[in-house]
Structure 1
Amino acid sequence: MNHIAPFRQAIQALSEGRPREALPWLRQSIAEADEPELAGLNLGMALADLGEFGEAEPLLLRAAQELRHLAEPHFRLGRIAAQRMRIAEARQHFDTALAVEPDHVMSLVGLAMLEEAAGHPHEALALLDHAALLAPRDEHIALFRLRCQAATREPQAAMEIALALLAHGQGGVENARLAASLLPPAEALPKLEAGAANQPVNWLWSFAIALAQHAAGATEDAVASLRLASLLSDGAPAVAGELGMRLADLRRHTEAEPHLAAAARGLPTDPGFRSQHGITLFKLHRFAECRAVLEAAIRDFGPLPALLGNLALALNAQGAQQEALATARRNPGNVAGLANQLGVQPYHPREGSAAALAATARALGALLPQPSLPPHPRGFAPERRLRVGFLSSHFARHPVGWLTLAGIEALPRDEIEVVCFSLRPNTDALARRFHDTADLWRELPKLDDADLVEAIRADAPDILVDLGGHGEGGRVAALAHRAAPVQVKWVGAQSCSTGVPAMDWMLTDARETPPGSEAHYTERLLSLPDGYVCYAPPAWAPAVGPLPALARGHITFGCFNNMAKITPEALRAWAAILNAVPGSRLVLRTHALADAETRALVLARAAACGLDPARIETHGPVPHEELLAAYNDIDLALEPFPYAGGLTACEALYMGVPLVALAGSSFAGRHAVSHLTNVGLPDWITDSTPAYIARAIAACRDVPALAALRAGLRARVAASPLMDAPRFGRNLADALRRAWRERCLEG
């Protein structure tokens, strides 16, 4: 009896929908029972219901071997495979279950779900007709059949079925998704709103309305409808997840996170909610939590590309460059997988070389459509006024904004018409300046590649300048379909070649891409005579203070770059510098350091590289004005490598802090080289790690010289090509004209 009691308690808990409580009793039953096979099967089923597929799968595989007369283990394995997007494997498990038990209803339903997901509603219906004969009173099967029937009808007739499903109030969110998708939002919304008026407490109406509002681009309205659906449904996990998704779309990540966490708990078998929860934690710079969520999801769902891609970014953000690249390389060698690899590879101390990056970029480009040069409807007059489009998600307070706005504002408007194609709404002060400077402003919603390109083509830009690359919010791969006769890459994840065959030019300068660099780019190099960017400092930048070492009596080094850029090689160089400069300290300041576990990892990594953690100050994020003011506590900035600072270098120099840079081979490795040259400080650029260490040590030996340089550095920067907007605007216009003339010669 003692052996039987735990199993009975477990079965009762399972029957009452309490799988978590059943786990210890099932484990006890496996250990103590004379025939533990059924306990093992039920434990696998309970774990699968909890989304813990990594632990469930081996138990179910064992049950399939030991209980060959049962279809259930194969059915459960099929569901796990389907959730892991292993469709052929899922189909095989469902077929095996039906071979064991030809009338296994849920395996028929499982196959029907695969057919529905593949867009084959007729095939799904045939399977459901069989299932309905076997289980004529199963309401879920009946509703599923109706949903598939709707997918086989013309839209208006299908909508009537979908509305009837919603009015029924059963069947869950898939019926709401169907009703919201059959007709254009303008036609669907009145019908859905009428249904909600007739059944005000049926939350599925509000949920469907929210989906249609989101499809129409009315995300704020969708959030309001989802809040109502959440209230009416008593916090249904699917509603919480959708609400979290929409809040994340609005970049309200603090609000989104608890909703996504609730969805992940309530629907642990849904990989989408668990993935989005990880992404939102990443946005909140809670990198350790993000990493834990994504690693658990990969254990359960397997190496899904989205999960691997996000985990690679989280690892990189913690400064684990080697783990990040290894994770990115687990992704398939398709466009998305290689783009993810290009997102982390430039930070890697060895694989971040120009040659290695070019190889990855070319592999990506080989998978994209080859470019064509269709006739341009406005003709190819080489000297006429040009329509130049700029494509970005970051027309705002972002490195893209600070490094491009002044140059775009300074373009000669009698020669160039400016069009801004915005991929994301932005409302801050820089966004307003971008909006004001554009002759034409287009807000582009989330579109697939072909539709995005068509939307841009409708405005007929002569030249399209991409400001996103393969980074967050970037759509550079879509431009393989060619949205303009001339396409140029500039700023925005500009770390290396894009590999996109239709990207004609890379906007650069002779320091970013010195002679001999051409082999590392699939684009032609469109070189500006000075720097490749024009820095626009914020009006709230505080005054430059005196050199801190004068009052403190010791040197304070600083690096305000993100942790992804701080490699073990850089840490070892910094250790050598601090060890040679008595009493010196190092200040690290970036978002990731607000995360306690990430901070501990960074300090442990520093110690392993010979850098005493007691000499390091770590600080998390602060408002931008406070970040700039923090440079008044820094005597000398140490640039990371191989990925150098871009905007960070500009800000340090503007705040009177010189920086020691190590010139790399890649575009990412030479940002500071460009900026230092343009402000007249080429002697702060080094070409080897020993030279980098020696230059920093030498600078510390002459504190009066450091103080004098600091006192005049802002004026030097302001007078330099780095901030000369009229000069930059003229240079940019000339470069774009040069690219256009060459296109005209091609006919």
Structure 2
Amino acid sequence: MPRHIPAAAPPQRLLDKARAEFQAGDFAGAMRTLAQAESTGIRSGDLHFIKAASLLNLGRIEEAQPAAELAAQLYPRHARVLALLGLIEVQRAQYKRAAKVLKMSLDIDPKGDGVWQEYASVLYRLADYEGSRQAGARALQLTPEDPAALGNYASAMRETGESVEAIPYFRKACAIAPAHRHNRTNLLFACLYDHRIDAARIKAETQAWAEALASQSPAAGAPWQARPGRVRLGIFSNDLRLHACAYFLIPLIANLDRSRFELVLVSLNPSQDRVTEKIRQYADEFLDVSRLGEAEVVAQVRSAGLDALIDLGGYAGASPLTYMVHELAPVQLTWLGYPGTTGMKQIGYRVTDSIGDPDGCDDNYTETLLRAPVFCAYHPLVSNPLAIYEPRYRVNETPALANGYITFGSCNGMAKLTKPTLDLWSAVLANCPGSRLLIEASGLDQPSLRERMEQRLRAHGIDTSRVELVARSSANQYLTYHRIDIALDTTPVTGGTTTCDSLWMGVPVVSLAGGMFHQRVSAPFLHATGLDELICDTPQRYVEVACALADDVEQLNALRLSLRQRAEQSAMCDAAGFAAWLEERLGELVAPAKPVPPRELSPAQGVYFGGTWHGYNDIVLSVAAHLHQREYTPLRNLLENLTSSWYRHWMVAYALAITEYESGDKAYAIELLVEGIGMRPYALPLYRLLAHWLDEGKLDKSSLAQLLHEQFGLMLETLEASPVPSVFEILGIEVKTQAAAAPEAAEVPV
């Protein structure tokens, strides 16, 4: 927090007193003195500066901002005033505004104490990693022994592709300030990127830090107390938002058996977005502890009466482990967010699988391994789940058929583009003449980062004229795969979410699998989709497999067109199956202390969201009512929630078909209806509606006639003799004629 303030001119007793109180750390006293000064009618930029700085130090951010703005108006060329305003904007999470003001301060005073460091941190938050790296280098010139400056610079190095090179900076920062948590967790995560660091050393480093954490600020408080009834499951995370974890978290929590489990989400992040709101729909309780001190977090989570608590972050970002080291629940597990051991004796279990952690890997962990069929279940497009039906996300033919050459590609973060990765890619390109490489990553729209990346590629013998660098855009998360024939995985940290995205879009992934989980994250998904031959155990095999795929474009195209169906029908996308597996393991773990209620519900019987269990018949009635009354906005909201539990469902496809037909996109509506029929092939009313729509569009019905004859032995004319079915008939709802009677949904297959 700022302690240096501009001298008052002319000196005035009250302002001098306030300045002295501020510099002594008596911010409340400074505010009282300033109030006296203001009552005298004094007008001074100095006064507003001290006031803003005091408010900032007192945590009254929203009051500090206007005071700082006024001080900046009165001192428009004062570097410290601008730096203060920048700090306040950082606290308000107004990072673009903060970056602008901090840069103005540095333009006036390039040696601003601590300002380069703050500027580097803001640019990092804005994903300007090359700018953050350059600002961090300036900060280190001024304060080469500052652990925060060292950590910021190392973080920017990692995000510009030099993860291993960042490790010495993290180590130096940790040596200077051994208790600095953020630097130590960043160091542990960075070590995963160095293929020379083995499992035993990683385990030893995490154990050492876990012991240090346990000795820091031991939190007193009441032990956990179990509550009667359902198992109370907590999930603790900094990433309950649009984040890679959401693609696996939402499918799990949407499929939990609510007759047996209550879900308590604990968030360390004050930032919330549309995905946060979606996640909250599936929580019985949502605890925002982001603004609490450590002891308060420990006390609040312990008082929640959890039977089991899952860490979703590990040593990545703001870590739940910082608090879970104080044993917040009788059963504590780690899952998903971090691809390695926590080293903590307080974390008893780790959720994994037999492909990511095959037999013989148990000694890599301090936790007991719980091996699922696949360590998580994936759903794409979690921020807009109904988009899975949209034409732009359909699998296209492999682009080499039109291009005449193979395009290898990667859509991973820059941190994963290590030296071993670039060596692999160089060998693949050398052995596949005429092929090209597409690299999509954040920041590649910045000329300085593009230049750095091109230099690294050339250093590895890669002709940059064969490479296309694409800046990552959330709008193109899946669409870039339309331009890629074969995805090349990274090493030693492989893809995870990107591997799932790639397979779902029909693009096979060639992966080098090592001996530790972070070197094998892609392998469980490849195994689940029947692509074990793409899991390579040596660099030579990696190159051979990539080139063999490239050699037969027709076979590559056939594989591409089959991959989505293989993925969606596999354990990789079986959220209900994974949820059931986890429920059984959790039940076994908590059973000694608390009886687990018997199973009463299944995903086929309904869905839970918004704090309520919605039975299947109620859902059918609600969908029918919205369709009948043409209430399409609430209908889409309902369908979104259904899609999180019932990933592809005929009723969703049918309802979307109706909305699209009504809006005028009749060709797309027919496609959706056909997809719905594919999921419910024996529902004749759907065929009758399709025939009616084809008639209205004067479209050919010969394929439909042939299908009816083969499937049912039925003539199209016979089908068309029946009236066009209503929404109620298609959804299996019996509409009673009595005025007082409500419609009833028949038992319709899910």
What TM-score results when the alignment is normalised by the length of structure 1? Answer: 0.71
CA distance in 1, matches of 2:290, 2:561: 47
* 1:281-327 deviation line (CA, Å, top 9, x unaligned): 22333333222221221121122111111111111111123321121
How far apart, CA to CA, are the structure 1 residues paired with 2:108 and 2:14? 22
Give per-residue Cα distances to partners, 1:10-42, cap 9 Å, x unaligned: xxxxxxxxxxxxxxxxxxxxxxxxxxxxxxxxx
2:286 matches 1:435: no
| C-alpha contact (below 8 Å) 2:248/2:376 kept by paired residues | no
Give the AA of the match of 2:155.
Answer: L
2:201 and 2:33 mapped to 1: Cα distance? Answer: 58
**Which residue is equivalent to 1:594?**
445
Residue 717 of structure 1 deviates from its aligned partner by: 1.4
Q: Give the structure 1 partner of residue 433 of structure 2.
A: 582
- Which residue does 1:365 correspond to in 2? 210
Structure-1 residue corresponding to 2:469: 618
Partner of 1:659 in structure 2? 509
Give the deviation of 1:522 after TM superposition: 2.1
Corresponding residue number in structure 2 for 1:694: 544
Quote how far apart the aligned CAs of 1:516 are: 1.7
1:627-646 deviation line (CA, Å, top 9, x unaligned): 31111000000000000011
Aligned to 1:522: 366
Q: Do 2:28 and 2:58's aligned partners in 1 also have CA atoms closer than 8 Å?
A: no
**What is the rounded CA distance, in whole Å, between the counterparts of 2:54 and 2:530 in structure 1?**
55
Picking from 195, 198, 202, the partner of 1:349 is: 195
Please state if 1:717 is matched with 2:571.
no
Deviation at 1:344, TM superposition (A): 1.4
How many residue pairs get aligned? The number is 576
**Would you say the 8 A contact 2:77–2:108 is kept in 1?**
no
User: Retained in 1: the 8 A contact 2:247–2:381?
Assistant: yes
Q: Does 1:378 align with 2:225?
A: yes
Cα distance per residue 1:368-424 (max 9 Å; x no partner): 22799998553498xx52111222222111101122111111111111111111222
CA distance 1:504–1:570, change in 2 (3 Å): same
- Using the TM superposition, name which of 638-647 and 278-287 deviates more: 278-287
In 2: Cα distance, 1:219 partner to 1:373 partner: 30
> Which among 305, 309, 320 is matched to residue 460 of structure 1?
305
Cα distance change, pair 245–677 in 1 and its aligned pair in 2 (3 A): farther
- Mapped partners of 2:320, 2:413: distance in 1: 23
Change (3 A) 1:229 1:610: same
Question: Is 1:312 the counterpart of 2:154 in the alignment?
Answer: yes
Question: Normalising by the residue count of structure 2, what TM-score does the alignment of the two structures yield?
Answer: 0.70
- Determine whether 1:681 maps to 2:531: yes
- How far residue 518 of structure 1 moved from its aligned partner, in angstroms, is 1.8
1:270 CA displacement: 5.5
- Cα deviation for residue 458 of structure 1 reads 2.8
Kindly indicate whether the alpha-carbon contact (under 8 Å) linking 1:486 and 1:743 is maintained by their aligned counterparts in 2.
Answer: no
Task: Tell me the equivalent position of 1:549.
Answer: 400
Instruction: Give, as a single letter, the amino acid of the residue that structure 2 aligns with 1:649.
Output: T
- Report the Cα distance in structure 2 between the residues aligned to 1:270 and 1:475, rounded to whole angstroms: 34
For residues 549 and 465 of structure 1, do their structure 2 counterparts lie closer, same or farther at Cα, with a shift above 3 Å needed? same
SS at 1:368's partner residue?
helix
* 1:569 match: secondary structure: helix
Q: Say yes or no: does 1:163 pair with 2:47.
A: no
- Does 2:204 match 1:396? no
Q: For 1:277, which of 94, 119, 129 is the aligned residue?
A: 119
Residue 648 of structure 1, CA deviation: 0.7
SS of structure 2 residue aligned to 1:367 = helix
Paired residue type of 1:616: V
User: Residue type matched to 2:550 in 1?
Assistant: C
Q: Is residue 102 of structure 2 the alignment partner of residue 255 of structure 1?
A: no
Contact residue 374 and residue 485 of structure 1 kept, 8 A: no
1:48 equivalent in structure 2: none
Distance in structure 1 (CA, Å) of the matches to 2:357 and 2:219: 27
* In structure 1, C-alpha distance between the alignment counterparts of 2:25 and 2:414, rounded to whole Å: 51
Secondary structure, aligned partner of 2:351: strand
Measure, in 2, the Cα distance between the counterparts of 1:704 and 1:150: 73
> What is the CA–CA distance in structure 1 between the aligned matches of 2:520 and 2:339, rounded to whole Å?
9
For each residue in 1:470-493, what CA deviation from the matched residue of structure 2 results, as whole angstroms up to 9, or x when unmatched?
A: 22233422321222222221222x
Q: Which runs of 5+ in 2 are unaligned?
A: 5-10, 596-750
Q: Residues 644 and 231 of structure 1: is their aligned pair in 2 closer, same or farther, counting only changes over 3 Å?
A: same
The residue aligned with 1:177 is none
From 396, 405, 409, give the equivalent of 1:558: 409
Counterparts of 1:377 and 1:472, CA distance in 2: 26
Q: Is the 8 A contact 1:167 1:199 kept in 2?
A: no
Distance 2:537 2:465 in 1: 30
Question: How many angstroms apart in 2 are the aligned matches of 1:535 and 1:659?
Answer: 18
Q: Which residue of structure 1 lines up, in the alignment, with residue 711 of structure 2?
A: none
After TM superposition, give the deviation of residue 697 of structure 1 in Å: 1.0
Name which of 185, 208, 220 aligns with 1:339. Answer: 185
Gap change, CA 1:199 and 1:533, over 3 Å in 2:
farther
Aligned counterparts, 1:641-652, within 5 A: 641-652=491-502
Distance 1:159 1:396, change over 3 A: closer
SS at match of 2:145: coil
How many angstroms does 1:257 deviate by?
A: 0.7
1:669 matched to 2:516? no
Q: Would the aligned equivalents of 1:593 and 1:620 in 2 still touch at CA under 8 Å?
A: yes
Deviation at 1:562, TM superposition (A): 1.1
- Is the alpha carbon distance of 1:146 and 1:537 closer, same or farther for their aligned partners in structure 2, counting shifts above 3 Å? closer
> 3-state SS of the aligned residue for 1:531?
coil
Q: Contact 1:531/1:675 (CA < 8 Å) preserved in 2?
A: no
Query: d(CA) in 2 for partners of 1:294 and 1:257?
Result: 14
Separation of aligned partners in 2, 1:211 and 1:711: 63
Whether the 8 Å CA contact 1:369–1:501 is kept in 2: the answer is no
Q: 1:311 to 1:159 in 2, by over 3 A?
A: closer
2:572 is aligned with 1:730: no
- What is the letter of the counterpart of residue 560 of structure 2? R
Is this contact kept in 2: 1:291–1:315, CA < 8 A? yes
Offset at 1:248? Answer: 3.5
Question: CA shift at 1:159, angstroms?
Answer: 4.5
CA drift of 1:587 comes to: 0.1
- Which amino acid in 2 is paired with 1:520? N
Instruction: Answer whether contact 2:223 2:302 (CA < 8 A) is retained.
Output: no
Classify the secondary structure of the residue corresponding to 1:471.
Answer: coil
- Counterpart residue identity of residue 453, structure 2: V
Q: 1:644 to 1:197 in 2, by over 3 A?
A: farther
1:245 aligns with 2:87: yes
Q: Secondary structure at the match of 1:592?
A: coil
Distance 1:345 1:259, change over 3 A: same
* Ranges in structure 1 where 5+ consecutive residues have no aligned partner: 1-81, 84-112, 117-135, 152-157, 169-194
Question: Alignment partner of 1:419: what SS?
Answer: strand
Q: Say whether 1:497 aligns with 2:341.
A: yes
Kindly tell me: are residues 147 and 212 of structure 1, through their superposed partners in 2, closer, same or farther at Cα, counting changes over 3 Å?
closer
Which range moved further: 677-686 or 651-660?
A: 677-686
In the superposition, relative to structure 1, how do residues 250 and 678 fare at CA in structure 2: closer, same or farther (>3 Å)?
farther
Q: Is the 8 A contact 2:309 2:331 kept in 1?
A: yes
Query: Residues 237-262 of structure 1, C-alpha deviation per residue, up to 9 Å, x if partnerless?
Result: 44433443344345443222111223
Please point out which of 534, 553, 568 is paired with 2:419.
568
Three-state SS of the structure 1 residue aligned to 2:245 is helix
User: Are 1:531 and 1:678, in contact at CA under 8 Å, matched by a contact in 2?
Assistant: no
The CA RMSD over aligned residues, in Å, is: 3.3
For 2:72, the aligned partner's letter is S
Inter-partner Cα distance in structure 1 for 2:321 and 2:256 = 23
Q: Distance in 2 between matches of 1:484 and 1:263?
A: 47
* Counterpart for residue 128 of structure 2: 286
1:703 to 533, 553, 559: 553
Please state if 1:607 is matched with 2:458.
yes
Determine which of 256, 264, 269 is the counterpart of 1:424: 269
Amino acid at match of 2:193: Y
CA contact (8 A) 1:559 1:637 kept: yes
